[in-house]
């Protein structure tokens, strides 16, 4: 049984992004999805600091520190791209104009509640950024994460124990072991890695999952 690598997870997410989609890729693991978007599809990437039509990183020496992404890394703008201010940028999100947002997570509940901004650790400086706007704003919110923590605990849970980012906002979860659909009817398994079955997945997660369809 071999887990999907982070690169394979990114490629799997990219396959589900259709031609013409406006997409926001969260900081961290989701940014890898950009490397696997099919060349024959025109997909526009949104960065919440104020650009649509984000291109790849500039070649060394061509960085412009006034052209950055939400992770504050230098990027480029594709021909046809645009700049705008923060209120417009978050209106794109909150107003439901962005088709798909891909986020990382600490935990997701089987109903689609998301926890990804704060571990609740005492003394930690809280920081939220655009996480809460992204989670509830896009037409569809995808999560990309390893299914289990390093301690082997499932990050797909009945109810999140970490502070919530948004309620019932996630529709799909891409992990290294399986892909899930989540929502009002609970979690369904769409796909699993070779060699894994539902009962083994139930043992790993402590959930009572079923296969879609």
Give contact residues for another protein (rule: CB under 8 A): 47-51, 63-68, 72, 77, 83-87, 89-90, 93-94, 118, 123-133, 136-137, 163-167
Closer of 82 and 200 to another protein (Cβ) = 82
**Where do the H-state alpha helices sit in the chain?**
6-15, 86-94, 131-137, 198-205
Query: Does the annotation count 63 as an active-site position?
Result: no
Least CB distance to another protein at residue 40 (A):
28
Closer of 30 and 130 to another protein (Cβ) = 130
Token duo for residue 40: 């024959």
Residue 119's φ and ψ, nearest 5 degrees, are -85, -10
Least CB distance to another protein at residue 77 (A):
8
Closer of 50 and 192 to another protein (Cβ) = 50
Closer of 111 and 155 to another protein (Cβ) = 111
Task: Give the active site residue among 48, 63, 146, 153.
Answer: 48
The CA–CA distances, whole Å, from 189 to 109, 110, 121, 180, 183 equal 14, 11, 32, 5, 12
The CA–CA distances, whole Å, from 10 to 16, 36, 100, 196 equal 10, 7, 14, 20
Least CB distance to another protein at residue 162 (A):
10
Closer of 92 and 144 to another protein (Cβ) = 92
Half-sphere exposure (CA, 13 Å, Cβ side) for 78?
13
Half-sphere exposure (CA, 13 Å, Cβ side) for 114?
28
Least CB distance to another protein at residue 113 (A):
8
Number of H helices, E strands in the chain: 4, 13
| Sheet bearing 178-181, strands edge to edge | 76-83, 51-55, 44-47, 22-25, 100-103, 140-144, 170-174, 178-181, 188-192, 210-211
Least CB distance to another protein at residue 173 (A):
19
Active-site annotation, residues: 48
């Amino acid at each position: 049984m071999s887990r999907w690598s982070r690169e394979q997870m990114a490629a799997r997410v990219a396959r589900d992004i259709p031609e013409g989609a406006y997409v926001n890729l969260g900081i961290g693991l989701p940014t890898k999805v950009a490397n696997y978007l099919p060349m024959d599809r025109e997909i526009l990437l949104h960065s919440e600091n104020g650009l649509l039509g984000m291109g790849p990183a500039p070649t060394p020496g061509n960085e412009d520190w006034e052209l950055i992404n939400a992770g504050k890394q230098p990027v480029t703008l594709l021909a046809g791209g645009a700049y705008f201010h923060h209120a417009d940028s978050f209106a794109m999100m909150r107003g439901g104009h962005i088709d798909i947002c891909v986020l990382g997570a600490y935990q997701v509940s089987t109903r689609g509640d998301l926890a990804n901004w704060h571990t609740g650790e005492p003394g930690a400086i809280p920081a939220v950024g655009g996480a809460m706007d992204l989670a509830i704003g896009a037409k569809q919110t995808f999560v990309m994460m390893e299914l289990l923590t390093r301690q082997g605990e499932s990050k797909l849970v009945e109810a999140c124990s970490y502070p919530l980012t948004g309620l019932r906002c996630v529709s799909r979860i891409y992990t290294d072991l399986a892909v899930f659909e989540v929502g009002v009817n609970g979690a369904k398994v769409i796909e699993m890695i070779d060699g894994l079955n539902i009962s083994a997945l139930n043992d790993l997660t402590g959930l009572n999952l079923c296969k879609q369809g």
